[in-house]
Chain A
Amino acid sequence: MRINKHPILGKLDRKEICITYNGSDYQAYEGETIAAALLANHIRVLRYSEKGKKPRGIYCGIGHCYECRVTVDDERSVRACVTVVQDKMKIRSQGMYANEI
């Protein structure tokens, strides 16, 4: 999903770091958001809705709609689209279990 070459913006040259999502390791680039890093790894489902437990992913991409809430290093409901990845960051999806709010 990475756009490594772009006719106007040129080559992609960024430093690689490692993040985990639901216990698995993934490659990410320094400076990008959690939402971008996960999408680059083909991950679109970020949480399940409170009502009906339906899958949700990014929607607005600018921190307004709160659809992309994830748990980051034990902090709940962090917006994946406005939070930058850090090396060894542990990210988990929310709403997978019936008793979870």
Chain B
Amino acid sequence: MPMKYDLVIIGAGPAGMGAAIIAASHGASVALVDENPVPGGKLRGQVYKEPKANWWIGQEIARNMEKEIKQLGVTCFLEREVWAIYPKWKIMLNNGEQLESDYVVLATGAIEKPIPIPGWTTPGVMAIGAAQVMANIHRVKPGNRVAIIGIDALSLTIAYDLKMAGVDVVGIYLPPFNEFSLDKSNPLKMIAYLSSLSHLAPNPILKLLGKLGKQASVQKLGVNYYPPFGMRVWGIPLHLRKAVVQILGDELVEAIKVTTIDRSGELETKQEKRIPVDCVCISGGLYPLVELANVAGCAFVYVEDLGGHIPLYSDEMETTQSGIFVAGNSTGVEGAKVAMAQGELVGAIISNRLGLLKHGTELIKQAKEKVNVARKNAVIKFHPTIESGREKVLHLWNEKAVK
């Protein structure tokens, strides 16, 4: 027998929980589905110092939101996967349960892009996000001597997390050039990327690199004058002229093979060096996780600034399938605070559609403003041009409406 709700939310991360809290507090009956045993999503792994404020401890924030959800009577379907969505709208779970609702929020978050490197399937190699889950949520070191491949906001943040946890991070390296690594293997592109990091970044690594990258001299001289032995940032060598070309070991990771990149960007294979490690973390960047929007028949657009293919959505976060809304990283990769605010916005919009709000227009306006403020104050930007990406989506939506 299908279970009926005013709203079904898929994904219990900051966006999904934000939507659940707002809708339930206005009196909506809400079902919240997640495949993890505990709500919170990737928020649970976050630990960083806020500028001029306290530490942001994701686990505590997630726990408080979970308490609120329970107090508000939100029904949680944990350790469940959504296997299908049928019009309009039936949600089928992997254990045979069926949920029904006029309104669905897809808040499925983001996932890491893998970068295949010879040896990357050897136990001991993991995605950088897995290292954060292990260290910050479960309090288990991903390894004792860890090499990180790939330079981005996530890998630099987690390098700092690992250092705090007492892990020996032997270095951050570039991946070799292949059809998956692309710009991430290019030293010049990486210097340009570093310059986009905020000076407000919540950890000393990001802060220092942001400053360094912004210096005209560094950008001009570029990779030629970047020391081939790397540069130590908060005790972690950051290598812009070294690529990990192979991960060595049969049953377990034993070492990485590192090659110097010469001034023209080519690999100097004669200069290979073997560095012993027991863990390698690969960071290829994040992209929105959007399979369910596809299953539901939503129209898609490709917006590079937002992390790739996303369901087209309106200024009310509704997709081209009426009743299906999106919130959080599945609309574009940003931080947890933006995701939370987006969730709250969607919660308010759906509450209004359900006729639960007296001053709906005003509340929605405030919620939209909260998203903008969270975006403006974001200390970690995964995509430097996120704002223009958001504008592009609205433009595409309006174009579609004109047709």
Closest to B129 in A: A61
Let me know if B111 is at the binding interface, CB within 8 A: yes
Q: Is the beta-carbon distance between A8 and B138 smaller than 8 angstroms?
A: no
Q: Is the beta-carbon distance between A60 and B124 smaller than 8 angstroms?
A: no
Q: Which among A56, A63, A82 has the greatest number of chain B C-beta atoms within 10 A?
A: A82
Let me know if B126 is at the binding interface, CB within 8 A: yes
Let me know if B165 is at the binding interface, CB within 8 A: yes
A-B contact count (CB 8 A): 105
Q: Is the beta-carbon distance between B166 and A3 smaller than 8 angstroms?
A: yes
Q: Is the beta-carbon distance between B35 and A63 smaller than 8 angstroms?
A: yes
B residues 130-157 with Cβ under 8 Å of A? 130-131, 133-142, 144
Q: Is the beta-carbon distance between A3 and B36 smaller than 8 angstroms?
A: no
Interface residues on A, range: 35 or more
Q: Is the beta-carbon distance between B140 and A2 smaller than 8 angstroms?
A: yes
B residues 312-339 with Cβ under 8 Å of A? none
Main secondary structure of the interface of A (DSSP, over half): loop
Let me know if A23 is at the binding interface, CB within 8 A: no
Let me know if B361 is at the binding interface, CB within 8 A: no
Known: A44-B252, A61-B126, A82-B36. A6 touches B138 (CB 8 A): no
CA distance A43 to B194 in the complex (A): 36
Let me know if B127 is at the binding interface, CB within 8 A: yes
Closest to A14 in B: B139
Interface residues on B, range: 35 or more
Of the candidates B36, B47, B122, B130, the one whose C-beta lies within 8 Å of that of A9 is B47
Let me know if B92 is at the binding interface, CB within 8 A: no
29 residue pairs from A and B, CB less than 8 Å apart: A1-B140, A3-B135, A3-B166, A6-B164, A6-B165, A7-B164, A9-B59, A32-B140, A33-B138, A36-B133, A40-B138, A45-B251, A45-B252, A49-B121, A55-B122, A56-B121, A57-B122, A58-B123, A58-B126, A59-B121, A59-B127, A60-B127, A60-B129, A61-B133, A61-B134, A62-B130, A62-B133, A82-B35, A84-B37
* A-B CB proximity, top 7 nearest: A61-B130, A57-B123, A36-B138, A44-B123, A3-B139, A61-B133, A40-B140
Instruction: Identify 11 new A-B residue pairs, CB closer than 8 A, beyond the known A6-B139, A55-B250.
Output: A1-B141, A3-B140, A6-B164, A8-B164, A9-B47, A9-B57, A32-B140, A44-B124, A57-B124, A61-B133, A62-B130
